[in-house]
Chain A
Amino acid sequence: MAEPLSRRGLLAGGAAGLAVVGLGEAGPARAEGFDWKKHAGTTLRVVTLKFPLSEISQARLADFGQLTGIKVQWEMLPEDMWRQKVKVQHLGGATDLDVFLSYYGQEGQQFLASGWYTDMAPMMRDPALTNPDFAWDDFIPAVRQGATVDAKVPIIPDRAAALPILYYRRDLFEQFKLERPKTWQDVRNAAKTIYEGTNKQVFGIVLRGKGAAATSMFAPVLYDFGGQWIDRASGDIAFNTPEALAAFEWWGAVLRDYGPPGSVNNHWAEVTSIYSQGRAAMLFDDITFITVFGDKSKSTVAGKVGYAPAPTGPGSAAWRSLPPYQPNANGLAISALGKQQEASWLLVQYLSDKVASKRYMLQGGLAPRHSAWIDPDVIKALDPEFLETGRISTQINYPGTSPLSITNVSKARDFIGEVIVTSIQGGNVKAALGTAFTECVDLLKEERTKKL
């Protein structure tokens, strides 16, 4: 069972982290006695997503090259392309891809079944291969647990798994005398007030609506309304309930009534653009966008954004304290088809070290290591409301982007995404939900037959 990340837990578990903080940024990677140069002259190829964490890593590649003598070819791609490229490369049996960013919750089961992940646990235990300052124990217990599958470690987490959060415009909430939303009903009320109060010049809320891409943000709402992807005991598909229908209808209605037009094509890039241009009062999305909104050169809402943990609904109490449903790690993985596993492991441990965690935290991400959370620089630099929101969000287990018993997550997300699109378009949500349910049931049945 996952250990929740409480203040006490952070302090206790982060005792080792305190010592590390004192080492400064250059310290962890340059511990004496560890041979970083054993693969000098090697060239590694990495495919990753274009987002803030990758940019932090990219900025450190020159230092890594000096330390190890390893050259890194670093490809950062938009989300769809990154995901496709990693899959296509593996499908084609390419051996020139060494390291890639991977989201276990989305493609993990398939990648594991296909044998594309390298288990990093043995390398982590080998002192000849792992810098002692890497300190796997410094990772938050829930994060470590989320990254471990049958005692194997296919991914080194680069962030703490957390529920999406609600971004809200403090200035508009003050103007319209609104409280920070605590429930999904509060969210709808605030969206209505601001949209109508600004004469429809500011959208009340912006949410993802692009089919499959929206399911990851929609999942907490489904559970908060009392719905669920699967029956926990049997693993059977279970989202054809009135509660689930209410959740799908809520998502579509709030976007239709108070959201931007064309929401059905909005992925995270679109919703963050709309929000950072000051066109929307609220956004419920991943926690990693604090830097996007805080950058005055790109955002018109810098300094005006407030943060709130995921609002609650009638079903929240029943699921938010449950142990995790499955491993859920996002981070770098080493391709099992690559030929340079040891050199790749040097890169992965370097980019997952304490320096990376601290920098990520300072940029508004939720670091996977204790040491970053208790770092005085971090506490001083970050908005207390953001830190509190992050702390609460990491304590709640994410329910998964789609029914977790289904291996073909992409297919299941496409089916469910259709319901979200139908809801936003004002179509027959009940019929669409019935279709998606049948498709998922058939898919699960087919997969179970194949597994037998």
Chain B
Amino acid sequence: MTSGLSADSGTPFRVRCAGGSRHQRFGEWLIGAVDRNLAILFPLPALCLVGVLMVYPLVYTLVLSTRSYDLGFRSYNFVGLAHYATALTSPRFWDACVRTFSFTALSVAGSVVLGMVMALIINREFRGVRWARTAFLLPMVATPVATSLVWMMMFNPTLGVLNYLLQLVGLPPSVWVADPLLVIPSLVLVDIWHFAPFAMLILLAGLRSLPSEPFESAMMDGASRWQSFWHITVPLLQPMLVVVLIFRTIDSLKVFDIIWVITAGGPGFSSETLYVYAYHQAFDYLDIGYGSAVIVVFTAIVAAASVLWMRARERVGA
């Protein structure tokens, strides 16, 4: 087969192909198409992945939420928004919403404050600071399920170590996660213990990047340590704080493993958050349709929280 390539190596490829064989014309068309659509083709693999791993499951969950998909009865009828109506009129659903929000508020506030304290401690140079850094980070690297099992045993009112410690310092024993009023604060305690190091890491990076001049000026002007912290450190750290708040809010809203292992939503339904509620519906009761509707509502809540924090982030210029 004759090729135009050898005739004039200085001629541009497209010109050389013009008027050539059908294959050559196709090749030229293909190259042109690639050139014109680079903006689509390069992100295409990533888009496909997102489509398969995120969009498809989300759309499928939406579809399921409109079906009476109950495995106990093998039904799959279209029920429209009936599951959403059931959820919105179910006291158990609303109780789960309240618990989800209270758990998130307490956990986010607790872990950010503790993370800040830990970051301030290890931002200073003192003997053993390296050991302190490692010790502070340990909870974060441990597996949540394993640590939750340990906490579950520690919370045991009869055999657990926490009551032993309370009694050592003269305090009365507690039933911890067996008390419907204490169960959420107790679970929050575990969540804070687990995720405060994460907040610490980000805030420590922020502290290290702060300029020294404002602090020196404040010191010259006679500002106290608290005044320096409150009026200089916190405002300068705002972008980092917002990042921590975004991550911690999403994580706390989604928390499942800690609650499932320690209480499975109990006692009764006293620690049943939305995620646990949805899991009960879908995998305990096999009511996949209703469970999917709860998950859709839950996803909307997480998305709304994320958008709110993102807006706050833009406002502080993080």
The chain A residues found within 8 Å of chain B, CB to CB, are 80, 84, 87-88, 91, 109-110, 113-115, 203, 209-211, 260-265, 270, 273-274, 277, 279, 407-408, 410-411, 414, 417-418, 421-422, 425, 447, 450-451
The yes or no answer to B122 lying at the interface (CB within 8 A) is: no
A114 B157 Cβ-Cβ under 8 A: no
Q: A113-B72, A114-B72 are in contact. Are A264 and B283 (CB under 8 A)?
A: no
Max chain A C-beta neighbours (<10 A), residue from B159, B268, B269, B288? B268
A185–B105 CA distance with the chains assembled, in angstroms: 48
Cα of A88 to Cα of B284 in the assembled complex, Å: 9
B73's partner among A115, A414, A447 (CB-CB below 8 A) is A447
A423 to chain B, nearest CB (A): 11
Contact between A91 and B284 (Cβ–Cβ < 8 Å)? no
The answer for the CA separation of A115 and B74 in the assembled complex, in Å, is 10
Indicate which residue in A211, A261, A410 contacts B157 across the interface (CB closer than 8 Å): A261
Q: Please, which residues of chain A bring their CB within 8 A of the CB of B175?
A: 261-262
Residue of B nearest to A273 (CB): B159
A91 to B281, CA, bound (A): 13
Q: Which of B24-32, B176-184, B196-204 contacts A (4 or more CB under 8 A)?
A: B176-184
Enumerate B116-157 residues with CB–CB distance to A below 8 Å.
156-157
Min CB distance A213 to B, Å, is 9
Known: A264-B178, A407-B72. A418 touches B268 (CB 8 A): yes
Segment at the A interface, from B42-50, B247-255, B259-267: B259-267
Q: In whole angstroms, how far apart are the Cα atoms of A262 and B269 in the complex?
A: 15
| Contact A270-B156, Cβ < 8 Å, known A211-B267, A262-B176, A417-B268 | yes
CB closest residue in chain A, given B163? A261
Closest to B269 in A: A418
Residues of B within 8 A of A261 (CB): 157-158, 173, 175, 178
Residue contact B267 to A210, C-beta cutoff 8 Å: yes
Whether B73 contacts A450 by the Cβ 8 Å rule is yes
Query: Within the complex, which residue of A91, A115, A265, A417 is in contact with B286, where a contact is CB–CB below 8 Å?
Result: A91
Chain A to chain B contacts (Cβ below 8 Å), 28 pairs: A87-B283, A87-B286, A91-B283, A91-B286, A110-B71, A113-B72, A114-B71, A114-B72, A114-B286, A203-B158, A209-B267, A211-B267, A260-B158, A262-B175, A262-B176, A264-B178, A265-B177, A270-B156, A274-B158, A277-B159, A408-B72, A408-B286, A410-B284, A410-B285, A414-B284, A418-B268, A425-B180, A450-B73
- In the bound complex, do residue A407 and residue B73 qualify as a contact, i.e. CB atoms below 8 Å apart? yes
Q: How close is B90's CB to chain A, nearest CB, in angstroms?
A: 11
CB distance from A410 to the nearest CB of B (A): 4
Q: Besides A273-B159, A421-B268, 5 other CB < 8 A contacts?
A: A91-B283, A110-B286, A211-B268, A262-B157, A270-B156
Closest to A407 in B: B72
Report the Cα distance A417→B285, complex, angstroms: 15
A113–B158 CB distance below 8 A = no
A277 to B158, CA, bound (A): 10
Partner of B267, one of A115, A264, A410, A451: A264
Contact with A along B80-94 (1 / 0, CB 8 A): 000000000000000
Bound-complex Cα distance A261 to B158 (A): 7
Q: How far is the CA of A87 from the CA of B283 in the complex (A)?
A: 7
Counted as pairs of residues, one from A and one from B, with CB atoms less than 8 Å apart, the total is 92
Chain B residues packing against A (C-beta within 8 Å): 70-75, 156-159, 173, 175-180, 263-264, 266-269, 280, 283-288
- Interchain CA distance A80-B284 in the complex, whole Å: 10
CA distance A411 to B264 in the complex (A): 14
Q: Given the complex, which residues of B lie within 8 Å of A277, measured CB to CB?
A: 159
Given contacts A411-B285, A417-B268, A418-B269, contact A263 B178 (CB under 8 A): yes
Interface pair B178/A265, CB less than 8 Å apart = yes
Q: What residues on A are CB-neighbors of B288 within 8 Å?
A: 91
Interface residue from A88, A203, A262, A447 paired with B156 (Cβ < 8 Å): A262
The interface residues of chain B lying within 8 Å CB-to-CB of A262 are: 156-158, 175-179
**Residue contact A113 to B74, C-beta cutoff 8 Å:** yes
Q: In the complex, what residue of chain A is closest to B149 when comparing beta carbons?
A: A78
Complex-state Cα separation, A260 to B178, whole angstroms: 11
Instruction: From A264, A411, A451, give the contact of B266 (CB < 8 A).
Output: A264
Contacts of B157 in A (CB 8 A): 260-262
Residue in A84, A261, A425, A447 with the greatest tally of chain B CB atoms within 10 Å: A261
**How far is A435 from B266 in the complex, measured between Cα atoms in Å?**
18
- Among A84, A262, A279, A425: residue with most chain B CB under 10 A: A262
Nearest CB of A to B156, in Å: 7
B178 proximity list for chain A (CB < 8 A): 261-265
Give complex CA distance A211, B270 in Å.
Answer: 11
From B75, B158, B177, A450 is in contact (CB under 8 Å) with B75
Complex CA distance for A114 and B283, rounded to whole angstroms: 13
Shortest beta-carbon distance, B5 to chain A, in Å? Answer: 53
Return B247 CB to nearest CB of chain A, in Å. 28
B287 contact set on A, CB distance < 8 A: 408
A279 to B157, CA, bound (A): 12
Nearest residue, chain A, Cβ from B175: A262
User: When chains A and B are docked, how far (Å) is the Cα of A8 from the Cα of B199?
Assistant: 71
CA A270 to CA B288, docked complex, whole Å:
31
For residue A414, which residues in chain B have a CB less than 8 angstroms away from its CB?
269, 280, 284
How far apart are the CA atoms of A447 and B286 in the complex, in Å?
13
